[in-house]
Chains A and B, each alone.
Chain A
Amino acid sequence: MKRVQFEHSAIPYLFIAPQIIIISIFFLWPSAQAIYQSFLLEDAFGLSSQFVWFKNYTDTIFSNAWLQAAGFTLIFSSLVTFLSLALALLLAVKANEVIHGASTYKTLLMWAYAIAPPVAGLMGNLMFNPIIGDLYNFMNLFGFDFDHKLDPVDAGFVVVLISVWKQVSINFIFFLAGLQGIPKSVQEAAKMDCNSSTRRFWTITFPLLAPTTFFLMVINITYAFFETFGIIDTTTQGAPGGATNTLVYKVYQDGFRGADIGGSSAQSVVLMILVLALTVIQFRYIEKKVHY
């Protein structure tokens, strides 16, 4: 807060009103609705509904389909987070070393940030198309018997590959900014003490990048949970047999395609709790950073 402030009674409310009104109508009310609906069971025609306590929760969450989606989401988000972070870190470290062509590399590595996940998904889908897709033929060249329409692992591979591709650039931007924030004096002192660049990286640079890495982990997990919706919807759509359903995609499918409002809402609420937990972790960590 500012030391010097205006002291008016009505004016600040006018300034803050637009945002509060939008939030109330399009955020608070729907969120409350989602929680309320998760306790209701509607009949097949949506004409009447009754309060059923936690039946929707127990019905959906202990169903095999939900557990399958939860399992896939866990594996999927771990893979996407780890691979895109590792790849981006490697590229950022190398881009930070070069002098010649540094800005060209930077541009080429970060521009894909602007591509929408569903567009990336559609491009990937075309590349893996059995009729024209060179990637599809390439995978089969080595006798993999690759078929992402039928094989769950192959389908997962396609979704992970496209999701990682889409996420490398934003991680790269943040890692590069983090690397450039490390003082020159620290780097030079480290260089005097230790000749091996690999060891210098793991003992000096990597620990100094820890705040960036942790922040990016949260961003990437959120991405893998939510934003990959567009990639899944334009590639596998959860096929084969729900093997590539993420939790968010299942909320959409059950709610819009299956018209199971109660069950879908219950899944939404579980997701809300998961995101909440993630945010709490993030903020506890940020508090720590402030004390340093």
Chain B
Amino acid sequence: MERPSYSTHLILIIGALFMTLPVWVAFATSTHAPETILREGLQFWPGPHLLETYNEVLFVEGGVMKQVTGMTMLKNSMILGIGFALGKVVISMLAAYAIVYFRFRLGVPLFWVIFTTLLLPLEVRIIPSYEVVANMGLLDTHTGLIVPLIASATGTFFFRQFFKSVPDELLEAARLDGATAWGFFQDILVPLSRTMIAAILIIMFVVGWNQYLWPLIMTTKEENYTLVIGIKQIYQVLNEGGELPQFQKAFALTILATLPPVLVVLIFQRWFVKGLVESEK
């Protein structure tokens, strides 16, 4: 390989700055006093109010009704992210197992039913979906928040692809040993899929955490806000209060909403990239 030129590094550095600087400035600004921000604008260096701001944002009630803290929203986001990821993995593994390993009369039609979910994103059927959940009395519940979101087929396709690549000899051997359908799934297929499961869990946690439109329309009580939807409502309150605009809190909330999924992606970077690239093939 020839040595890459300085311009190569320059372009990469500019690119990296473009991607990171806004978030850094958001963080740095969140650690200053509101008066400073109002007087001087955005801040590049961290200020002295880090603990104060984050303490207030996490533990003091905010929002229109003053009923929700950052901690509550953090908890709700965690439930949504983890519940969504786990639900999706379990349901799509089971469905993919049926599709790949069984010959049954409705197999092909049911596969196509699952397939159609890829065609119509939630956004185009948002009002009827809301009505269904409302009629079932599931507004403001975790079930109503998570279950409609796991309907889509992305996970099923991912596992179907993977199961197809598992050698046939494994099933032959297992059947000679008298394995049942559930036994083969539990003792052989699930352990074999461990890396795949980890990769899809990471991606789905991020996807679940970042949901916006669905939580926005189906949560009405402030104590059920997730961070991603709560920050906008609280941001509006912060600016319309008539007092000093609390920009540092708005920035702190965006950082809080960003931190967990970013950490997950950074820590599990290798699995995450693998899962992402493989699942879309």
Contact = CB atoms under 8 A, between A and B. Distances in A.
Interface of A: 1-9, 11-13, 15-16, 18-20, 22-23, 25-31, 33-34, 37, 87, 90-91, 94-95, 97-99, 101, 105, 107-119, 122-124, 126-127, 129, 131-134, 137, 165, 168-170, 173-174, 177, 215, 219, 222, 226, 229-230, 233-234, 248, 251-252, 255-256, 261, 264-265, 268-269, 271-272, 275-276, 279
A31 B210 contact: no
B52 interface: no
Interface in B226-252: 228-229, 231-232, 235, 245, 247, 250-251
Given A11-B102, A23-B151, A123-B254, A272 B124 contact: yes
B51 interface: no
Contacts, number: 283
Given A23-B117, A132-B247, A117 B212 contact: yes
B124 A251 contact: yes
B37 to A, nearest CB: 6
Contacts of A11: 102, 181-182
B206 A114 contact: yes
Interface stretch (B8-16, B56-64, B68-76, B192-200): B8-16
B160 to A, nearest CB: 10
A30 B125 contact: yes
Contact of B19 (A133, A169, A275): A169
Interface string B82-100: 0000000011101101111
Nearest to A178: B277
A27 B117 CA distance: 7
Contact of B16 (A12, A109, A132): A109
User: For chain B, what secondary structure do more than half of its interface residues adopt (helix, strand, loop), or is it mixed?
Assistant: helix
A126 B25 CA distance: 11
A98 to B, nearest CB: 5
Contacts of A264: 127
Nearest to B226: A116
Nearest to A95: B12
21 contacts: A1-B103, A4-B168, A12-B101, A19-B151, A20-B113, A22-B150, A25-B132, A27-B116, A29-B132, A99-B4, A116-B258, A116-B261, A119-B228, A127-B22, A173-B273, A174-B276, A229-B123, A251-B123, A268-B125, A271-B124, A279-B119
B265 interface: yes
Contact of B119 (A109, A137, A275): A275
A168 B20 CA distance: 12
B114 A137 contact: no
